[in-house]
Amino acid sequence: MTRAAGVLLPVSSLPSKYGIGNFGQAAREWVDFLVQAEQRYWQVLPLGPTSFGDSPYQSYSAFAGEPLYIDLDQLAEAGLLKKGACKRVEWGEDPSHVDYDVVRTGRKKLLRKAFKNFEDKKALEAFRQENAEWVEDYALYMALKDKNKGRPWTEWKKGLRLRDPAALEECREKYKEDVDYYVFTQYLFFQQWGALKEYANQRGVKIIGDAPIYVAMDSADVWAQPGLFQLDEKNVPTEVSGCPPDAFTADGQLWGNPLYRWDVMKEDGYSWWIKRIKANLSMYDVLRIDHFRGLESYYAIPYGDTTARNGRWRKGPGMDFIRAINQNVENAAIIAEDLGFLTPAVKRLLKNSGYPGMKVLQFAFDPNEDSSYLPHYYPHNCVVYTGTHDNTTTRGWLDTQEPEVLQLAKDYLGFEAVEDGPWAFIRGALESVADLAVIPLQDYLGLGGECRINTPSTVGGTNWRWRMSPEDMDEELAGKMARLSLIYGRASKSEPGKGPAEEPAQKAGKSQTAKPEKKAGKAAKKGDKSHADA
């Protein structure tokens, strides 16, 4: 990986008139801002359709995309929506936060209208055939969820819950229009995302995506292929995911995702995972695998328990899985999320994989230990962050630390006033030897903890809701970012403001992105170390 810098910003956090960030003009303006700021990477959160708690780490599908990110203006330009139709829909009262319930209601009404006006059935059918392995199950699953008033598939009638072929075929015919609609939303999603990614690549900006290691129990993935997961004969989980109690969480963390049957997956060479990673790498240039340590060993909690206290560690697929990925996915550009308590076995797996791990500056300043998160210990092959989406902002971190922790950070990074701390953290990350430095936008803006993306082990509140304003894409800020990238050798090697000549644009893969079509043209405390996206 070439020495470079990037910014972490969820698509949902982009500016837009319609309540949530999307793949429209503001996204292109954001890419232009990154180019001006000499940033060569844009890291996003998972782009799948969100479910429980609006979390992108709890998705209805590991392959599908979130329809909320479809740009409505492009649909109006293509004649699929009437001019002004979007103005008559409610999008929420606070432009700085996403109101998911309001946005979903308004967006679905408009997408249904666009579907009725869509006439290019040939293009839709081509997309459908190219993505048949996942899109048919996903579309039927979503149609059935609607008919079951949103209830999880585990509460559907027995024939549908256990996927009786006759019952499924009857529903495919009965709800054909709804199934076709959900295929249509995926067509639009991948068409628009593919165009945005191509725009970014042509400008010299690469996209870092995110793959949650686990899928949601209430997902098309588990419903369609229950044999790949640790379920009983009634498709009820036997054990679920989480992490054990520690000094910061006495009960541990109960995530509740179904666990993989790694022995079954091994029999066919982990084909489901290989398809998933290939699909993800057709959407992104680089893929972060969340909770990488779960590939070495994972924590299994008896289903029905209310805490994680009774869980046990079980062996994961390890290097056998990594070899399968490397042998079947050409030039797989992968980042390993290796945060949390790492055993020697996990460290060996990371080293043997060759993947870069992660370093987080907010985790570095414990006066009682010589932390590996201190920059002078970094290897070149890693990605450094000031904080992640699961941490508070750096200003929020500075505002909440004990005096001895704060003093160590001040002494190490060389700042006195707390208000100067975010830029000192940014400089500390950029000047390190880490090949890639990724900074959350909130840290460049100096925002407080109220603007964090997520608070682990909590649901609701402000999680996943923060949004930037158009004014945040400021020329003065871009200039300051560009200057630091140049000083620390992270800017592009070609002319300032243009993409690196040695890294040509990469188009989104055919299997996931429909061809363009003329008619249908976004540590709080140290305890945050443990993974808690689920």
Q: How many domains does the chain have?
A: 1
Burial class (CB in 10 A: 0-12, 13-18, 19+), 267: exposed
Burial class (CB in 10 A: 0-12, 13-18, 19+), 505: middle
C-alpha 494, offset from chain centre: 30
Q: Per the domain annotation, does 464 fall within a domain?
A: yes
Could you tell me which residues are beta bridge partners of residue 209?
287
User: Going by C-beta distance under 8 Å and a sequence separation of 6 or more, which residues neighbour residue 463?
Assistant: 53, 54, 55, 453, 454, 455
DSSP secondary structure of 95-153: TTB--HHHHHHHHHHHHHHHHHH---HHHHHHHHHHTHHHHHHHHHHHHHHHHTTT--G
CA–CA separation, 422 and 420 (whole Å): 6
Could you tell me which residues are beta bridge partners of residue 237?
231
- Among 337, 338, 443, 503, the active-site one is 337
Q: Per the domain annotation, does 169 fall within a domain?
A: yes
Going residue by residue through the chain, which has 534 residues, state the pLDDT in tens, using 9 for 90 and above: 789 999 999 999 999 999 999 999 999 999 999 999 999 999 999 999 998 899 999 999 999 999 999 999 999 999 999 988 998 999 999 999 999 999 999 999 999 999 999 999 999 999 999 999 999 999 999 999 999 999 999 999 999 999 999 999 999 999 999 999 999 999 999 999 999 999 999 999 999 999 999 999 999 999 999 999 999 999 999 999 999 998 778 899 899 999 999 999 999 999 999 999 999 999 999 999 999 999 999 999 999 999 999 999 999 999 999 999 999 999 899 999 999 778 999 999 999 999 999 999 999 999 998 899 999 999 999 999 999 999 999 999 999 999 999 999 999 999 999 999 999 999 999 999 999 999 999 999 999 999 999 998 888 889 999 999 999 999 999 999 999 999 999 998 634 444 433 333 333 333 344 433 333 333 333 334 444 444
Q: Per the domain annotation, does 278 fall within a domain?
A: yes
Residue 517 has what pLDDT? 39
Q: Per the domain annotation, does 69 fall within a domain?
A: yes
43 within 8 A of 389, measured Cβ to Cβ: no
Q: Which domain holds residue 390?
A: 4-529
Concerning whether 305 is annotated as a catalytic residue, the answer is no
- Among 290, 503, 517, 533, the active-site one is 290
Concerning whether 337 is annotated as a catalytic residue, the answer is yes
Concerning whether 66 is annotated as a catalytic residue, the answer is no
Residue 272 has what pLDDT? 98
322 within 8 A of 89, measured Cβ to Cβ: no
C-alpha 249, offset from chain centre: 25
Q: What is the CATH number of the domain that holds 169?
A: 3.20.20.80
Token pair in block for residue 22: 């999307």
Token pair in block for residue 2: 């070439």
Residue 514 has what pLDDT? 40
User: Which one-letter DSSP state was computed for residue 59?
Assistant: B
CA–CA separation, 502 and 513 (whole Å): 25
Q: Per the domain annotation, does 213 fall within a domain?
A: yes
Radius of gyration over every alpha carbon of the chain, rounded to an integer in angstroms:
23
103-127 burial, b at 16+ Cβ within 10 Å, e below that, comes to: bbebbeebbeebbeebeeeebbeeb
CA–CA separation, 295 and 72 (whole Å): 39
Q: Per the domain annotation, does 387 fall within a domain?
A: yes
Measured CA to CA in angstroms, residue 244 lies from 62, 217, 260 at distances of 25, 20, 18
Q: Per the domain annotation, does 534 fall within a domain?
A: no
- Among 38, 66, 221, 390, the active-site one is 390
Q: Per the domain annotation, does 224 fall within a domain?
A: yes
